[in-house]
Structure 1
Amino acid sequence: MCFSNMYFGLQSGWISMMSLQASLLGYAIFKPFRDKLRTPFGPIENVVLQTTAVATATMPLAAGFVGIIPALGLLTSNDHPDGPIVLSSWQLVLWSLGVAFFGVFFAVPLRKQTIIHEKLRFPSGTATAQMISLLHQDPQEPILRRRHQSSRDSVLEHEDRPLLVSSSSPTYSPTSTGSNQSGVALTPIAHSDLHTSTRQREGEQDWSLKLHALTISFSLSSAYTLLSYFFPIIYALPLFNWLSFNLIDFAKWEWYFAPSLSYVGQGIIMGLPTTLSMLLGCVIGWGILSPIAHYAGWAPGPVSDWKTGSKGWILWISLGVMVAESVVSLAIVSVRSIIKLTAHKRARDDVRYQRVDADEQSSDADTAESHIEQEWVEEQEGTRSKDEREEKDAPPEQLVKTSTTIIGLVASTLLCVCVIAILFGTDVLPIRMAILAIAVAMFLSVLAVRALGETDLNPVSGIGKISQVIFAMVMPGGIAANLIAGGIAEAGAQQAGDLMQDLKTGHLLQASPKAQFYGQLIGSFVSAFVATAAYKLYTTVYTIPGPEFPVPTAHVWLDMSRLVNGHPLPPHVSEFVLFFALIFAALVLLKETKPGLEHVGWRRCIPQGIAFAIGMYNPPNFTLARVIGGFLGHWWDRYCDVLEATDGNRNNMDSSIWDKLFGRYRRHVGKVFIIIVASGFVLGEGTFAIVNLVLRACNVPHF
């Protein structure tokens, strides 16, 4: 997974958290050996496995291999007296270790406030918990188990509403107590031994279908990737030239189509709203602004040139959109956090004072006992409000000790400062500035975690840009130092966000936070070596940046650093930057006017700024296949909704060609099927890209 993310990150700057893929692969690997394992591989073990895998998979972004490191190699003598900074293998390992840990220790103190007290949703973490539950489902257990549930009737709260649904999930029926968001009470139906045996057989059948889907999708993507080495044209089809009968040279403007199944899979995982926002950015950037800039003489060079071409010109507009949305979003999150924390503290104080007052007024000790008993009854019957119920935390022995967090934070900070001094010297980034960079990273990581919990978006790119602005003020003219400081902030936000998503998954499935914490540390340590090996392999075999791996985020980082340190903008781009930045800042405010309704009504039509910017600074072939994936995921969800609407009655289902092809998967696997297919697509190309790398290194001929 680390190699896959390195491959896609160097191509486009986009990486995946890989939590769904990790949980799926972990189950597939260990399931055949479940009878031979001393400890059964259950949901809790799967949580720890995917936590470790995610820490390893995301190191290409956390350590800046797809951004900061290539950007340092693009420095000129005007940017840095010694020119480009190119790190050797051991230096890359040291750099990775230096930035790999402090973000983990940042996240630990935030867990109780964001997950236990405020119960932030963390959608990806919740979806991963549901994926693991569906894989390990016990016919006699509800899909998700929450620590605060002590009633005999299992109630699905807001965060437990399925993002992933399998038709073989436990059956629920209406009762008189408890309700979900739609007002329908849910409680498990009792299962007889015969029914349980039948469910187990059905579970085995369902898993065989899931494994079949994963194998087929992985094989198709692998075959396409291998063929693309011998026939490179299939990776960049001039489809639009063909459609226009070559009357218009769309290829000149970078309009190709890459029928990459991994891109389709990524689009499925991203979802239709995100991919449509990317498509909008692609059309405006590459279909409108790029020709305008070229023919107006603002970007007279070749279209694909980062310095004089329209590709580099529209990059500034995408950068403005990213910074504007990130700043406004983080400001909104900050204000909301302050309001929530104040309200939460006031509510807890009110409850405490009410209890003390009640006890003081009571002359009978039994009254206080009766009061407590009444609270317990109200909680059991579901009559106490959600704010009045306290989420139960893990047992003390499963929590990370405060002393461990403090010692680890101090040690990881010292490690980072020492690494910076060894690699770059105190003349590039003085020690006091390195400490300031970590302090800024800590503050921005808190905002990133809260944004992630509420929106499922970790704005690491915007956070890095904010750090660059701050360091341009305290160290003007230091472009190399600016990049390093931004990389530290990005690393902290990425590591903290990853662990918090995983901790949400673990909380829903009652996994040990301490085990996840150490799993994250182990994964980060191992990935410092794995990610370095992957990066050195790609840079040895390919020219980076180059045609195969343009590394667009490296240009984004470097251009931002030059801008905040006084370098001028290209001609007439500033007006467009300001225009689009104001538009997307206003759209964020408009979308957030009523929290919780961002995906309701007309708000669904508001484009996402970060996705819009990604669609703009990447060429169209990066976006188009992902849009197809977004539509496929949307279609499959609607297709499965038809089955749910008919209560699974086969006689009521449409006997169309789609039902003949996919009916079994819809009935037995449900909505999770499309996620499995997407995972196979992504992992297939990411894996066989290594095969292509070996073929390239061996100079195997191709057409």
Structure 2
Amino acid sequence: MAATREDEATGNGYSEGLREPEEQVLNQRKGMVQQKNGLEDDESEKKEVLSIEMIFKDKEVPTWRSQLTIRAFVVSFVLGILFSVIVMKLNLTSGIIPSLNVSAGLLGFFFIKVWTAFLDRSGLLKVPFTRQENTVIQTCVVATSGIAFSGGFGSYLFAMSETISKQATEANDSQNTKSLSLGWIIGFLFIVSFIGLFSVVPLRKIMIIDYKLIYPSGTATAHLINSFHTPQGAKLAKKQVKELGKFLSFSFLWGFFQWFFTAGDDCGFISFPSFGLKAYKNKFYFDFSATYVGVGMICPHIINISLLVGAILSWGLMWPLIETQEGHWYKSGLSSSNLHGIQGYRVFIAIAVILGDGLYNFIKVITKTSVELAKQLQNKDPATILPLADKGSPEAKAASFDDQRRTQLFLKDQIPSWLALGGYVIIAAIAAGTLPQIFSPLKWYHVLVIYIFAPVLAFCNAYGCGLTDWSLASTYGKLAIFAIGAWAGKDQGGVLAGLAACGVMMNIVSTASDLSQDFKTGYLTLASPRSMFVSQVIGTAMGCVISPCVFWLFYKAFDDIGTPDSEYSAPYALVYRNIAILGVEGFYSLPKNCLTICYILFAGAIIINALRDFGPKRWTKYIPLPMAMAIPFYLGPYFAIDMCVGSLILFIWEKMDKVKADAFGPAVASGLICGDGIWALPSSILALAGVKPPICMKFLSRATNVKVDKFLNP
């Protein structure tokens, strides 16, 4: 998953799904290499660095069919459900989604190891567990849970609903909204989620072999899996899983304990006024969320600090100052969710920062992609991006051996180009005929135009992701909103058409970059491209059913889902809807001076990014990320505080014992996230069954408490 995706960076990006960099996976690998009952000796580390394939040269590589085992897909299905619940919960709360690749690879390794150990003791084990099978599991799980993000349940898809359209106040008529239904959601996802896979298949050799693109997330995941399957790596992986299980249990039980105190609105630990009642009113408090503490441990420190800076700038300074202009800049007495009041400033200023950051990074990645592609086409030099070390050095010889073996096996199992081309054309034809039946404002020629341009954009996204680890799926989706929405027109359901077009485009370019990442992982673990493609297809198919069902569970269990003050407010759904409204209506409906502030912060996001890229290197690492700063503008500071607590825990741990922090930090964080995510499932079932918590723990000021006491005891 390793979600991210510019707004959803799979690696160094950050997002509406803020997927963190995979740096910590590389650190974890380093920790693995350094440890053997504590620390590895230097000779073992040197051997591992010089040649990975030398370690595995005596192990037979299974055929691509043998890599696709029933047990792998059973485990993938179970983990896919778990991770879909986690991603869905994050989608509907903060929109910040960490990379779950590490957890997928680690838990996949653990479950299959338990499975094979049991069969081995009973004498029934026939097929040993290989790193190729581990790669298939990781690919399938990430593809499954990835649909929970790219399916738009927290963004464009939910933005079509009546719940969100009522909050927008403009363009909320019937032709610009669509009632959510499990049937058409599953059908829509099956139509749009596969075509991106076919668009990038013919380019796999160019991306991986000829241009040697890095794909940092895919490379890091491959190193992790390779490390697991060395004798030392397997030993450390068991310790990591033990830590993950310990904190998973703690997180689950903590969520269960908190549930007892949430019998009403603003009840429980999630409403604990940690910094006082006045700060709580402006959403400055620690809500004891194990999920966000875990997310904070996974995300880089700069992202967490950026979130806190954005929270202080908006809820600490801007919104209180704008609220003093009530009655001058906007009408007094408006509800907190009315976009003509303070809510309009919160939403549209956040959109301005998001668009400014997205535009800058779009131009940056496209420019870098074009320059590097032109160099390679001109020089016809496959080593332009990753030049090898001195050819006489041991490193070069090892790299040569690894590259030869990997290239040989990567090219062995070809995926026919006619299959990719035919699959693309057939799916495009089906989509052009069926999507207008689901979304009446979206015409067949709109869909046709999207599919004509999509392969080029999918290539650009996959290539740029290989260079920078940034996927710009959300940016391409926003471009589709503006283009198709304006083409369809406001009076012809342009808002709904734009949101549907966003879904089509995002799924195409997102799955294209995801599959390219998986090809890189498979290349480095000797997993066949065919097994990678098949596991991605199966994982996507599972996700098209699992994710809508998980979303439907949340949707039916919580009556206030999608409303601003709800536990599951789905903040980016309103953002996406308002982007679509801007695309068809323009800016005339914004509150007074809102547009001016938007212009200033739009330019500010571009300037901050430029400073990060071109400023003195010793200072740029301290400059906050505009996209991360924008997220609390609408949501508030509470989750940023949680994440900073997680970041502080990891920082202190690294100061005390960096080796252990690098090796076990991701496992502890994953346990906190997974445990809380598991609890979301039984809590939803309890809500559906009408079982309510027995206690309301609420905090009152002294004066209010006196009034309550007098009322209860006259």
- TM normalised by structure 1 equals 0.76
CA shift, 1:636, in A, is: 3.4
Corresponding residue number in structure 1 for 2:359 = 327
The answer to whether 1:675 aligns with 2:643 is no
Q: Say if 2:659 is the partner of 1:625.
A: no
Per-residue deviation, 1:49: 0.6
Conserved 8 A contact 2:439-2:496: no
For residue 53 of structure 1, what is the aligned residue in structure 2?
A: 141
CA distance in 2, matches of 1:377, 1:295: 68
Return the offset for 1:72: 0.7
AA in 2 matched with 1:4:
I
Once the two structures are TM-superposed, the CA of residue 302 in structure 1 deviates from its matched residue by: 6.8
Amino acid at match of 2:499: L
Displacement of 1:551 after TM fit? 0.6
Q: Which amino acid aligns with 1:103?
A: G
2:50 alignment partner in structure 1: none
Distance in 1 (CA, whole Å) between partners of 2:673 and 2:380 is 46
Larger mean Cα displacement after TM superposition, 506-515 or 305-314 = 305-314
* Change in 2 beyond 3 A, CA 1:592/1:443: farther
Q: CA deviation at 1:124?
A: 2.3
Aligned to 1:196: none
Q: Distance in 2 between matches of 1:130 and 1:384?
A: 15
In structure 1, C-alpha distance between the alignment counterparts of 2:355 and 2:335, rounded to whole Å: 24
How many angstroms apart in 1 are the aligned matches of 2:607 and 2:240?
A: 43
Give 1:279 shift: 1.4
Candidates 140, 144, 154, aligned match of 1:66 = 154
| Counterpart in the other structure of 1:590 | 611
Question: Separation in 2 of the partners of 1:393 and 1:320?
Answer: 48
CA–CA distance in structure 1, aligned partners of residues 461 and 95 of structure 2: 19
> Of 526, 532, 535, which residue of structure 2 is paired with 1:510?
526
Contact map agreement 1:272 1:633 (CA 8 A) in 2:
no
Q: Establish whether residue 401 from structure 1 lines up as the match of residue 416 from structure 2.
A: yes
Unaligned runs of 5+ in 1: 140-168, 170-202, 352-374, 644-665
1:86 matched residue in structure 2: 179
2:549 is equivalent to residue 533 of structure 1? yes
Change (3 A) 1:618 1:463: farther
Match 2:287 to one of 258, 270, 275: 258
3-state SS of 1:65 partner: coil
Give how far 1:378 is off: 5.5
- For residues 85 and 350 of structure 1, the distance between their equivalents in structure 2, rounded to whole angstroms, comes to 49
**AA at the equivalent of 2:676:** E
Offset, 1:561: 0.8
Give the secondary structure class of the aligned counterpart of 2:585. coil
Provide Cα deviations, 1:405-449, integer angstroms capped at 9, x if missing partner.
111211222232233122123xx1110111222344444433433
**Cα distance 1:56–1:215, how it changes in 2: closer, same or farther (>3 A)?**
same
Distance (Å, rounded) in 2 between the aligned partners of 1:301 and 1:132:
58
- Return the alpha-carbon distance in structure 1 between the equivalents of residues 196 and 398 of structure 2: 37
Deviates more, 1:57-66 or 1:310-319: 310-319
Paired letter, 2:367: V
1:42 counterpart (104, 109, 130): 130
How has the CA–CA distance of structure 1 residues 446 and 590 changed in structure 2, closer, same or farther, with 3 Å as cutoff? farther
1:200-233 deviation line (CA, Å, top 9, x unaligned) = xxx54x3443232111110111012112221134
Does residue 1:430 correspond to 2:443, yes or no?
A: yes
| Further displaced range: 501-510 or 45-54 | 501-510
Task: Report if the CA contact (8 A) 2:272-2:286 is conserved.
Answer: yes
Decide whether the 8 Å contact of 1:330 with 1:448 is kept in 2. no
Q: C-alpha separation between the residues in 2 aligned to 1:275 and 1:66?
A: 21
* Structure 1 pair 224–71 and aligned structure 2 pair: CA distance change class (3 A): same
* Larger Rg, first or second structure (1 or 2): 1
**3-state SS of paired residue (2:407):** coil
* CA distance, structure 2, for counterparts of residue 384 and residue 694 of structure 1: 54
* Inter-partner Cα distance in structure 2 for 1:14 and 1:124: 18
How many Å separate the matches in 1 of 2:134 and 2:418? 28
Q: For the residues of structure 2 that align with 1:348 and 1:106, how far apart are their CA atoms?
A: 23
SS of 1:68's partner is coil
Gaps of 5+ in 2: 1-82, 120-124, 384-388, 696-714
For residue 32 of structure 1, what is the aligned residue in structure 2? 114
Alignment of 1:227-376 (within 5 A): 227-232=257-262, 233-242=267-276, 246=277, 249-297=278-326, 298=329, 300=332, 304-305=336-337, 307-348=339-380
Correspondence for 2:577 among 532, 553, 558: 558
For the residues of structure 1 that align with 2:451 and 2:544, how far apart are their CA atoms? 19
Determine if the alignment matches structure 1 residue 125 to structure 2 residue 218: yes
CA shift, 1:303, in A, is: 8.0
- Per the alignment, residue 24 of structure 2 pairs with none
Paired AA for residue 71 in structure 1: A
Residue-by-residue CA offset, 1:608-644 (whole Å, 9 max, x unaligned): 2221222323221222111222233344344444x6x
Q: 1:448 aligns with which of 455, 461, 475?
A: 461
Corresponding position of 1:649: none
Q: 1:473 to 1:693 in 2, by over 3 A?
A: closer
**How far does the alpha carbon of each residue in 1:442-475 deviate from its partner, in whole angstroms, 9 at most, with x for none?**
4443343344334433333333222222224433
Judged with a 3 Å threshold, the aligned counterparts in structure 2 of structure 1 residues 632 and 100 are, in CA distance, closer, same or farther, namely same
CA distance, structure 2, for counterparts of residue 96 and residue 464 of structure 1: 15
Is the 1:280–1:615 contact (alpha carbons within 8 Å) kept by the matching residues of 2?
no
What CA distance in whole angstroms lies between the structure 2 residues aligned with 1:583 and 1:505? 37
2:305 corresponds to which letter in structure 1?
A: L
CA 487–241 in structure 1, closer or farther in 2 if over 3 Å, else same: same
* Structure 1 residue 563: Cα displacement: 1.1
- Asked whether the equivalents of residues 75 and 85 of structure 1 are also in contact (C-alpha less than 8 Å), the reply is no
Query: Aligned partner of 1:264: which letter?
Result: V
Following superposition, the deviation at residue 54 of structure 1 comes to 0.6
Report deviation, 1:240.
4.4
CA distance in 2, matches of 1:630, 1:605: 15
Change (3 A) 1:240 1:680: closer
Q: 1:570 aligns with which of 570, 586, 591?
A: 591
Distance change in 2, residues 1:306/1:108 (3 Å): farther
Q: Does 1:491 align with 2:507?
A: yes
C-alpha contact (below 8 Å) 2:340/2:590 kept by paired residues: no
Q: Does the 8 A contact of 2:106 with 2:237 survive in 1?
A: no
2:199–2:512 Cα contact (<8 Å) kept: yes
Q: Distance in 2 between matches of 1:592 and 1:109?
A: 34
Number of equivalenced pairs:
578
**C-alpha deviation, 1:380, in angstroms:** 7.3
Query: Cα deviation per residue 1:380-425 (whole Å; 9 max; x = unaligned)?
Result: 7849999xx9983644332322112111211222232233122123
Distance 1:376 1:279 in 2: 45
In structure 1, C-alpha distance between the alignment counterparts of 2:409 and 2:372, rounded to whole Å:
23
Cα shift at 1:256 = 3.0
* TM superposition score normalised by structure 2: 0.75
SS state of the match for residue 157, structure 2?
A: helix
Distance 1:340 1:207, change over 3 A: closer
After alignment, is 612-621 or 20-29 more displaced?
Answer: 612-621
> Quick one: which amino acid aligns to residue 260 of structure 2?
F
Is the 8 Å Cα contact of residues 301 and 310 (structure 1) preserved in structure 2? no
Identity %: 25
Give the Cα separation in 2 of the matches to 1:13 and 1:220.
24
Alignment CA distance shift 1:350-1:115 (3 Å): closer
Whole-Å Cα distance in 2 between the matches of residues 215 and 541 of structure 1? 28
Q: Is residue 563–residue 569 contact of structure 1 (8 Å, CA) maintained in 2?
A: no
**Could you say what secondary structure the match of 2:352 adopts?**
helix
AA of the residue aligned to 1:269? I
Partner of 1:194: none
Contact 1:636 1:671 in 2 (8 A): no
Contact 2:131–2:225 (CA under 8 A) maintained in structure 1: yes
Would the alpha carbon gap of residues 111 and 617 (structure 1) be closer, same or farther in structure 2, given more than 3 Å must change? Answer: farther
Instruction: Tell me if structure 1 keeps the 8 A contact 2:106–2:241.
Output: no
Separation (CA, whole Å) in 2 of partners of 1:385 and 1:513? 21
